[in-house]
Amino acid sequence: MSLARTWAISLVGIEGVAVEVEADLSDQLPDFRIIGLADRALGESSQRVRNACANSDVPLPSRRLTVNLSPASLPKHGSGFDLAIAVAALATQLPISPDALLRTAHIGELGLDGRLRPVPGILPAVMAAARAGLETVVVPRASEDEASLVPGIAVVGATSLGDVLSRHGIDARLPEAEPVETSTDPGSLEDTLDLSDVVGQDDAVSALLVAAAGGHHVLMTGPPGAGKTMLARRLPGILPPLDDESALAAASVRSLSGHAVTHLSRVPPFEAPHHSASAAALVGGGTRAPRPGAIVRASEGVLFLDEAAEFATTVLDALRQPLESGQITVHRAGYTASFPARFQLVLATNPCPCGNRGLRDAVCECPSQAIRRYQNRLSGPLLDRVDIELTLLRVGRVPEARGVLDSDRARALVVEARDRAARRLSNTPWRRNADVPGTWLRSGAGALPPGVRAPLDGALARGSLTLRGYDRVLRVAWTLADLEGEQMPTPEHIGRALFLKRGITS
């Protein structure tokens, strides 16, 4: 036949769209054209496909071959269309079952010798193929384990174009070279970090437990050596394990970032970008294809900004919208892509540029103006979105190692508190205290009696809190009540939440 069709997947952000690959062979001057809003990497596919077919002993015919990628209005990018284009093009002259092609998505980049190379985003692409109702997906052998994580679709791992054609009943040559492999998933390093390693910071550990139980954002201020980084890196280990949906979402982001995924990790991700990172590195983007930034890679987990005051102000302010909405939309001239950004923010900063301010045996020589400028890099609107603000001091003595809270016990307490919150919020769209809107807490079903809110109302009247800060104190108070198994917060819980917010006393 002169017309053949199969399927490929186009990724826009983390979402995949099924793209019909149509190949038409006509009796005109020899040519190979790809139409359908392809980028440069995809436009070069014609040469890769031609050489791969020739080196697999199934050369393309010397006639005009037109490949259309439909829908034509959808921008398409990357080399992952190579295999689908090659199979559709060859099906115009080879006896390949049209029904089999229309039930199958082909994903992978072709080498000139016909070998299949893995491409980023295999996991979200296979998920999109399953949602589109396709029965089978063909992927490079190196990506077979990753693709097999998606239920409801048959996965075929192939080493070369010849391997794919042989599965369609065509006799083709297999390359003599070894199949292209990819690096294995390094796994999470957080499994080896235990909360019991933190000594002498009991108040900070208790606050970290509250943050984990409610999903609250944290700011830690203290001199170098106070344990800020140590605490932050142990937060993922006390968070509840990811459920299937969250684990797949986190794995999809890792796949889209180019990391191999061989299993579904249940440990929440942890991202710690350097303070020299740009806003684009944090948010994501790209000139031709959207790539996830640090806040997207931290989705369902923890984003840790060490030396937060050293970040550019524009970079920090880029966090404000994702903190409220839980997603980030990247707008570029050629595309608009949305990514998940449901992360828990942990900021760590020194009290002054030299870090010695307030230390007993050290001298701070920072001018007062430099200290104010340093502290003002964390803008008021950003701090207003932080639920817990801690001031840490260096440990002055080594305490006795008795009754130390380890990560397993802390995680159990966090899971119990979150279960209580989920049961209380069962008739609402929310499951964590950090996600509950302020209107529901102030005047909805979650409103507290005036006597309980009295300390908080007083702080608001004095101007110590904004209304957003008021809502965040209420959320922390509910988390404190959940940790202690109480039905609702008491004035004591409100007072502790105020102190955790900004050291405000009632």
DSSP, res 490: -
Domain assignment present for 461: no
The tokens for 18 are 């099924």
For 260, 282, 285, 322, the CA distances from 330, given in Å and listed in that order, are: 24, 11, 6, 11
DSSP, res 60: P
Domain assignment present for 483: no
Could you write out the DSSP letters of every residue in 348-417?
Answer: EE-SSSSS-TT-TTS-----HHHHHHHHTTS-HHHHTT-SEEEE-----S----SS---HHHHHHHHHHH
Beta strands at 291-292 and 284-285: parallel, antiparallel or unpaired: antiparallel
DSSP, res 160: B
Q: What pLDDT was estimated at residue 334?
A: 67
208 and 164 inside one domain: no
Residues of the chain with pLDDT below 50 are: 188-190, 504-506
C-alpha span between 250 and 288 (Å, rounded): 23
Listed in sequence order, the residues at least 6 apart from 104 whose beta carbon sits closer than 8 Å to its beta carbon are 6, 7, 134, 135, 136, 137, 138
Domain assignment present for 291: yes
Please state the domain count of the chain.
Answer: 2
C-alpha span between 174 and 56 (Å, rounded): 7
13: alpha, beta or left, given left = phi > 0 and alpha = psi -120 to 50? left
107 and 212 inside one domain: no
What SS3 string covers 434-456?
HHCCHHHHHHCCCCCCHHHHHHH
Residue whose structure tokens are 């826009």: 12
C-alpha span between 282 and 302 (Å, rounded): 13
The tokens for 492 are 């004591």
Helix (H) or strand (E) holding 295: helix 294-297
Q: What pLDDT was estimated at residue 192?
A: 64
109 and 43 inside one domain: yes
57 and 164 inside one domain: yes
Domain boundary among 111, 133, 168: 168
Listed in sequence order, the residues at least 6 apart from 276 whose beta carbon sits closer than 8 Å to its beta carbon are none
Listed in sequence order, the residues at least 6 apart from 50 whose beta carbon sits closer than 8 Å to its beta carbon are 32, 60
At residue 215, the 3 state secondary structure works out as coil
Q: What pLDDT was estimated at residue 401?
A: 59
Tell me the residue type at 28.
Q
- Work out the number of other CB atoms within 10 angstroms of the CB of residue 480: 24
Helix (H) or strand (E) holding 109: strand 109-110
286 and 360 inside one domain: yes
Q: What pLDDT was estimated at residue 9?
A: 96
240 and 148 inside one domain: no
Rounded to an integer, what is the distance from CA 329 to the centroid of its chain? Answer: 13
291 and 344 inside one domain: yes
154 and 252 inside one domain: no
Please give the model's pTM, rounded to 2 decimal places: 0.89
Domain boundary among 410, 435, 460: 435
Are 247 and 266 contacting, i.e. CB atoms less than 8 angstroms apart?
A: yes
Are 84 and 36 contacting, i.e. CB atoms less than 8 angstroms apart?
A: no
Rounded to an integer, what is the distance from CA 95 to the centroid of its chain? Answer: 43
C-alpha span between 493 and 57 (Å, rounded): 75
Q: What pLDDT was estimated at residue 263?
A: 86
200 and 164 inside one domain: no
Domain boundary among 415, 435, 455: 435
Could you tell me the strand order of the sheet in which 218-221 lies? Answer: 270-271, 302-305, 344-349, 218-221, 388-391
Q: Residue 416: how many CA atoms within 13 Å on its side-chain side?
A: 14
The whole domain housing 407 covers: 195-435
Task: Give exposure, 354-393, as e/b (b: 16+ Cβ within 10 Å).
Answer: bbbbebeeeebebeeeebeebbeebeeebbeebbbbbebb
Q: What pLDDT was estimated at residue 506?
A: 41
Domain assignment present for 335: yes
- Where are the extended beta strands (E) located within 216-283? 218-221, 270-271
269 and 396 inside one domain: yes
Residue whose structure tokens are 């102030």: 442
CATH of the domain at 246: 3.40.50.300
pLDDT digits (tens, 9 = 90+) for 487-504: 999 999 999 999 998 764
Domain assignment present for 263: yes
C-alpha span between 504 and 506 (Å, rounded): 7
239 and 330 inside one domain: yes
Say what the alpha-carbon torsion angle 344, 350, 353, 358 is, to the nearest 10 degrees: 160
Domain assignment present for 67: yes
Domain assignment present for 440: no
Beta strands at 336-340 and 327-331: parallel, antiparallel or unpaired: antiparallel
Domain assignment present for 489: no
End-to-end CA distance of the chain: 81
223 and 324 inside one domain: yes
Task: Give exposure, 296-325, as e/b (b: 16+ Cβ within 10 Å).
Answer: bbbbbbbbbbbbbbebeeebbebbeebbee
Does residue 273 have a cis peptide bond before it, meaning omega lies within 30 degrees of 0?
A: no
Listed in sequence order, the residues at least 6 apart from 199 whose beta carbon sits closer than 8 Å to its beta carbon are 395, 398, 399, 401, 404
Residue whose structure tokens are 């199949």: 179
Q: What pLDDT was estimated at residue 25?
A: 92
Q: What pLDDT was estimated at residue 253?
A: 93
CATH of the domain at 60: 3.30.230.10
